[in-house]
Structure 1
Amino acid sequence: MSMKKFEGDFEIKASKKMLYPYISTASGLAQWFADDVNINEDKEFNFIYDGEDHPARMASHRLNQYVKFEFFEDEDEDGDVSYVELHLDENEITQSVYLKVVDFSDYEDDQEQYELWEDLVHSLKDIVGG
């Protein structure tokens, strides 16, 4: 199955500094992104959804800016690996902060994927009060 790129922007009323731990740490991600998230001594993340393990590594990050997770077991026939990038962008005019999601995976339905991310970000907003 081939991979597709999904992108979405979600406004969150919270500072980038406050949001960054929620997108970059196992404990922060476990609160809204997955059922649970663990990290091992090799700094490999394990995202748990519906009792299934999804091992990943933090491929890149920049403090208070973005993170990118690449998932080990999700590779298509072209050798592409699924990943999720979470960017914290600020509109300098309005001072609004946006979580930009880039999800490269084998998801089929764009509308269903948008609704999934909308629900996840809603959970994050509930946690941070944004």
Structure 2
Amino acid sequence: MAKKQLYTLEYPVRCSPQILYEFLATPSGLGEWFADKVDERDGVFSFSWNGSVEKAQQLEHEQDKYVRYRWLTAPKDEYFEFRIEKTEITNQTILVIKDFAEKGEIKDQTQLWEYQVKELFHRLGS
């Protein structure tokens, strides 16, 4: 199996880092846009889509800055991360998503993230 590579996506968001962080780091927030249902127990998040469940451990987080998860079925060095940045000049909030995929799958994975982020923006009213 080919080694997956890290790729980064950036999306300008019209909301405060505090509000955005809640949608990225809490089960109720993630359940609004990322999965049909999200539960958390002892730092392990259970994401449900159409009856299928995937689990991810929250590895690191900093309030209103970033949160990093790792699928329990993924290699130890792979993760997906939501980072919240502010542009210096315009002070605009930017959502930075980092994820891993095989080279040939990055385009498909990017399209999946585009769909998910569109749903997030809809929930945020952004």
Q: Would you say same fold, with TM above 0.5?
A: yes
Rounded Cα–Cα distance in structure 2 between residues aligned with 1:106 and 1:38: 28
Structure 1 runs (4+) deviating above 6 angstroms are none
Contact 2:101/2:109 (<8 A) preserved: no
The one-letter code sitting in structure 2 at the alignment partner of 1:64 is D
How much identity, in percent, do the aligned residues show? 29
The 5 Å alignment of 1:92-103 reads 92-103=88-99
Gaps of 5+ in 1: none
**Alignment coverage as a number of residue pairs:** 125
Is residue 2:14 matched to residue 1:18? no
Q: Return the structure number with greater helix share.
A: 2
TM-score, normalization: structure 1?
0.87
Instruction: Quote the offset at 1:96 in angstroms.
Output: 1.1
Instruction: Quote the offset at 1:47 in angstroms.
Output: 1.4
The one-letter code sitting in structure 2 at the alignment partner of 1:19 is L
Gaps of 5+ in 2: none
* Secondary structure at 2:98 match in 1: strand
Instruction: Quote the offset at 1:29 in angstroms.
Output: 0.5
Counterpart for residue 38 of structure 1: 39
CA RMSD of aligned residues (A): 1.6
TM-score, normalization: structure 2?
0.89
* Secondary structure at 1:92 match in 2: coil
Of 114, 118, 126, the match for 1:118: 114
